């Protein structure tokens, strides 16, 4: 027999008893246990949610740091690109200046997107061609001088006082002033200890049919048959031969004919094309074509013909000096 559970509630005035049946007690106990289980489960879920939120917050912070680093890297990249672009534009402007110096017109200059290797090769070829021209054809001053005492052309001879054709220019300078070759060539004539006509004189034979003469020298510094390069010493200024004062008589000849030396004396890389109009009677296109051919890579072929420019200079006629 199941006895009921007596519950007594006491107050100051009285006491009351309640009878609880055992099944009701078990129901209450079960509800309590279920409530405890639900509270525990809720706490576990809440703890897991907090952990997930903490992990998400950490990942979010990492994402923010990554975004911040990417923005800094992007800014640095743009800064580097701006710097590279400025350097590229500066290089391109300098290259265009060299292209203009090399004689490439705006039509010849390759557009910017083209690789620089091609443009540099084109400029290199042009510069090499011009350097070859300025090495093998007379140009520049043969010495430092104070003034031109007599121009090329008709004049009155300073000794005979007769009018005659002056085949060069007279450059007034002190005795002993060094005289230099104005182009590569061989010494065709080296006359020393001579006191008539042109006096002590050196004649150089250059490529393309050019000769240069250096007359009235004090002394000669080269020998017959010697090869001299542009800018090398050939002698010293003097007053030998038919001369009234220390000076250099300088001539430029093409195929034996005297031409005005002044345009050649002022010819340089900066005004390279100007002489083509000033001395328009010479076959400049032919000169450049021949030098371009010489600049091409040579293949060792026994059957290859020898270029005309490589014919021994000894076959060129020697010009005897004449008085003024």
The predicted structure's pLDDT at residue 299:
42
Other residues' Cβ atoms within 10 Å of the Cβ of residue 278: 14
C-alpha gyration radius of the chain: 50
User: What sign does the dihedral 16-21-25-28 (CA atoms) show?
Assistant: negative
Other residues' Cβ atoms within 10 Å of the Cβ of residue 47: 10
The predicted structure's pLDDT at residue 166:
86
The predicted structure's pLDDT at residue 11:
72
- Spatial contact of 101 and 126, defined as CB atoms under 8 Å apart: no
**What is the chain's pLDDT, residue by residue, as a tens digit (324 residues)?**
556 666 676 777 777 766 666 676 677 778 888 888 888 888 888 888 888 888 888 888 888 888 888 888 888 887 877 777 777 676 666 666 665 655 655 545 455 545 666 667 777 778 888 889 999 999 999 999 999 988 887 766 665 556 678 899 999 999 999 999 999 999 999 998 888 889 999 999 999 999 999 999 999 999 999 999 999 999 999 999 888 889 999 999 999 999 999 999 999 988 998 999 999 999 999 999 998 888 876 444 434 444 444 444 433 333 333 334
H-helix or E-strand spanning residue 116: helix 116-136
Q: Residue 253 forms beta bridges with which residues?
A: 211, 258
The predicted structure's pLDDT at residue 2:
53
The predicted structure's pLDDT at residue 114:
54
> What crossing angle do the helices spanning 284-295 and 116-136 adopt, rounded to 10°?
120
> What class has domain 147-292?
mainly beta
Q: Taking the model in full, what pTM does it have?
A: 0.59
């Amino acid at each position: 027999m199941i006895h009921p559970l007596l519950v007594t509630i006491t107050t100051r005035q009285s006491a009351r008893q309640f009878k609880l049946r055992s099944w009701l007690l078990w129901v209450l106990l079960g509800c309590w246990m279920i409530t405890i289980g639900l509270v525990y489960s809720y706490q576990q879920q809440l703890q897991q949610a907090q952990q997930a939120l903490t992990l998400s917050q950490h990942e979010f912070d990492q994402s923010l740091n990554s975004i911040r680093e990417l923005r800094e890297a992007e800014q640095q990249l743009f800064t580097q690109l701006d710097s590279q672009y400025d350097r590229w534009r500066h290089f391109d402007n300098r290259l265009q200046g060299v292209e203009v110096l090399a004689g490439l017109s705006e039509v010849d200059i390759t557009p910017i997107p083209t690789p620089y290797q091609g443009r540099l090769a084109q400029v290199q070829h042009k510069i090499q061609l011009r350097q070859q021209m300025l090495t093998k054809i007379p140009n520049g001053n043969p010495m430092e001088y104070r003034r031109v005492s007599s121009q090329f052309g008709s004049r009155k001879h300073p000794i005979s006082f007769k009018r005659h054709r002056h085949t060069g220019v007279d450059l007034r300078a002190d005795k002993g002033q060094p005289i230099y070759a104005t182009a590569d060539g061989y010494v065709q004539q080296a006359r020393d200890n001579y006191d008539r006509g042109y006096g002590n004189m050196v004649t150089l034979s250059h490529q393309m049919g050019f000769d240069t003469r250096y007359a009235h020298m004090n002394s000669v510094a080269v020998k017959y048959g010697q090869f001299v390069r542009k800018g090398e010493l050939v002698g010293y200024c003097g007053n030998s031969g038919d001369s009234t004062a220390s000076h250099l008589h300088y001539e430029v000849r093409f195929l034996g004919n005297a031409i005005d030396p002044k345009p050649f004396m002022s010819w340089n890389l900066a005004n390279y094309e100007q002489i083509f109009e000033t001395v328009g009677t010479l076959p400049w296109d032919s000169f450049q074509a021949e030098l371009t051919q010489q600049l091409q890579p040579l293949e060792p072929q026994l059957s290859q013909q020898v270029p005309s420019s490589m014919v021994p200079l000894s076959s060129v006629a020697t010009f005897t000096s004449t008085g003024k």
